[in-house]
C-alpha cells in the first residue's frame, strides 16, 4: 500500500514483483487487466453487480456462493465457494484455502469485493500476491463496519464505506454509494 512515486510523469507503486507480462515485454499487445470480483449472496452480490460496469475493459472473473448466479454473468469465468462465517472455523479455513487457490490460479491484477468473508480472504490473498484491492463495505453496515470490512482495511488499497458517518481519516473513506 505504498504511496505512488512520480517517475517522469508515470505513477509507479511499490509492489511485490510478479512474473513479467511476456506479450507486453515483446511490445505486441496489452492483455486486458484481470479483475477478481468477489461477493457473498443476496445484497452483497447485488451491490457487486452495481460496480461491475466500472470494470469495463477488464477481464472480470467472479467468485460467489451460489452456482445459480452464473446465469447473471454467463460470459465470465465464475467460481463458487461455500460461504462461511466465524461461527464455523472449519468452513472458514476451507473457504480461505479455496480462495487462495483461485487467486493463485487467476493471478488477478485487481481484487474488488462488497463482502463478506469470501471477499475478505480474496483481498487478503490478492494483496499478498501483489494485486491492487478495492473494498466497498456493504450498505447493510449502517452503524459500524462488519468484521470482514474492518479486517479488510489492513490489506485494501481503496477502502470505502457507503455511509458518510462511518468515514474516518485513517479509513475507510466515503465516496458515494450504490443507492
User: How remote is the C-alpha of 112 from its chain's centroid?
Assistant: 2
Neighbours of 34 (CB within 10 A): 17
Going from the C-alpha of 4 to that of each of 31, 113, 157, 162, 174, the distances in angstroms are 23, 23, 12, 25, 21
Residues 138-177 that bind another protein (CB under 8 A): 138-143, 146-147, 157-158, 160, 175-177
Q: Is 13 in the site for another protein (CB under 8 A)?
A: yes
Q: Is 76 in the site for another protein (CB under 8 A)?
A: no
Q: Is 85 in the site for another protein (CB under 8 A)?
A: yes
Q: Is 50 in the site for another protein (CB under 8 A)?
A: yes
Q: Show the site string, 120-139: x = touches another protein by CB under 8 A, - = not.
A: ------------x-x-x-xx
Q: Which residues contact 167 (CB under 8 A, 6 or more apart)?
A: 161, 173, 174
Question: Quick one: which of 5, 21, 42, 82 contacts another protein (CB under 8 A)?
Answer: 42
Amino acid at each position: 500500500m505504498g504511496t505512488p512515486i512520480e517517475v517522469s510523469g508515470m505513477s509507479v507503486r511499490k509492489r511485490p514483483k510478479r512474473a513479467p507480462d511476456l506479450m507486453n515485454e515483446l511490445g505486441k499487445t496489452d492483455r486486458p487487466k484481470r479483475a477478481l470480483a468477489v461477493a457473498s449472496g443476496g445484497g452483497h452480490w447485488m451491490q457487486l453487480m452495481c460496480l461491475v460496469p466500472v470494470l469495463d475493459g477488464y477481464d472480470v472473473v467472479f467468485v460467489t456462493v451460489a452456482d445459480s448466479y452464473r446465469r447473471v454473468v454467463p460470459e465470465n469465468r465464475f467460481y463458487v465457494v461455500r460461504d462461511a462465517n466465524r461461527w464455523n472455523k472449519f468452513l472458514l479455513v476451507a473457504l480461505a484455502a479455496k480462495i487462495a487457490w483461485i487467486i493463485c490460479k487467476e493471478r488477478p491484477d485487481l481484487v474488488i469485493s462488497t463482502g463478506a468473508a469470501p471477499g475478505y480472504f480474496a483481498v487478503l490473498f490478492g494483496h499478498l500476491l501483489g494485486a491492487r484491492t478495492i473494498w466497498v463495505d456493504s450498505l447493510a453496515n449502517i452503524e459500524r463496519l462488519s468484521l470482514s470490512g474492518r479486517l479488510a482495511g489492513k490489506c485494501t488499497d481503496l477502502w470505502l464505506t457507503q455511509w458518510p458517518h462511518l468515514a474516518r481519516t485513517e479509513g475507510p473513506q466515503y465516496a458515494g454509494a450504490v443507492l
